[in-house]
Amino acid sequence: MIGKKLGKKLNDTKKVNFKNIKNLCSQETFFVYESWISWLINNKKYSKNTISSYSYDFKYFLNFITLHFEINTVKIHHIEKLKLRDFRSWLSFLNIINPSIKSNSLARARASIKSFYFFCIHEKKITSSEVSKLSSPKLPKSLPRPLSENQILKFIELLDSEENELVRKRNKALIYLFWGCGLRVSEALSLDKKQIDSDFLIVLGKGRKERMIPLLPIIKKELNKWLLLRKRISPIKTDALFVSKIGNRLSPRYVQKFIERIRNQLGLEKNVTPHSFRHSFASHLLMNGVDLRTLQLMLGHSSLSTTQHYLKITNKFADEVYKKTHPRAK
């Protein structure tokens, strides 16, 4: 339970002063923060999005400490003296300032701060911490339902009605990459032209792990249409495969917005996002007999159990696989 003293302060939201990280901590603490971020980038190979999320979580953590200890500047000794009950109060603090916070955001916040403490102990900035005893919030195991082939084809049909040729062909190529290659949005938008190697796509996934995904003829066709149009954009300020009308690398927010617009036109559920096409890719392949190991490689999962959880194999399909593969089933 969050302490009564801290809880009373939070009743007045003006008490929560969301300053920049540098203004919340001592010079020493800020130096440790910068060193941690550098370590995440260079040693852990975390993406820009992950780094941004971890920094966001750290800022809220510092805000909590200022309220918890009634201080203006967080020093290393404040960070070291936090006990397990204090970390639990911090999770409660996150729920109070954002009642609609999702469990996966809480899990990420916990991972962020555990990573920071691990770094501090490794670099001998602190001697120990009870943060390792902080249990993970339980995450829902359900995943969004995949789109049917018919729904995706209707989606593409609406894309074809776009008047601007550049927007039409670019967005269509993007959807085919999501659905036909199972790419994450970050993976698709980080692609450079050189990563398309005739019949294969070279993808840099999570942890900067490289994988090769075969390109179906229809995907190559749509990509080539887009690449021809891309040459007309001048000036192009990047080697990015997907660029805006003014030549900048396309942003995730733009992709979210155009998919949201078409989703609404089709009357699809609100949980249909760019990631739904990756989920559809995986589910469609699985239901058509692709083995999990192959699918794991194509999705870029480090663990096979992640693939199994992600796909939510239906009882019916599992029964069919069992009857086909078990030596005593014949």
Catalytic residues, by residue number, are 184, 206, 275, 278, 301, 310
Could you give the CA distance from residue 172 to residue 261 in angstroms, rounded to a whole number?
Answer: 14
Query: CB–CB of 293/304 below 8 Å?
Result: yes
Structural tokens at position 28:
């020493």
The helix/strand/coil state of 290 is coil
The DSSP symbol for 202 reads: E
CA dihedral 17, 23, 25, 29 (to 10 degrees): 140
The Cα-based distances of 275 to 98, 185, 255, 282 in angstroms read: 25, 7, 11, 11
CA dihedral 167, 172, 174, 177 (to 10 degrees): -160
Backbone angles phi, psi at 198, to 5 degrees: 50, -90
The helix/strand/coil state of 212 is strand
Could you give the CA distance from residue 36 to residue 12 in angstroms, rounded to a whole number?
Answer: 33
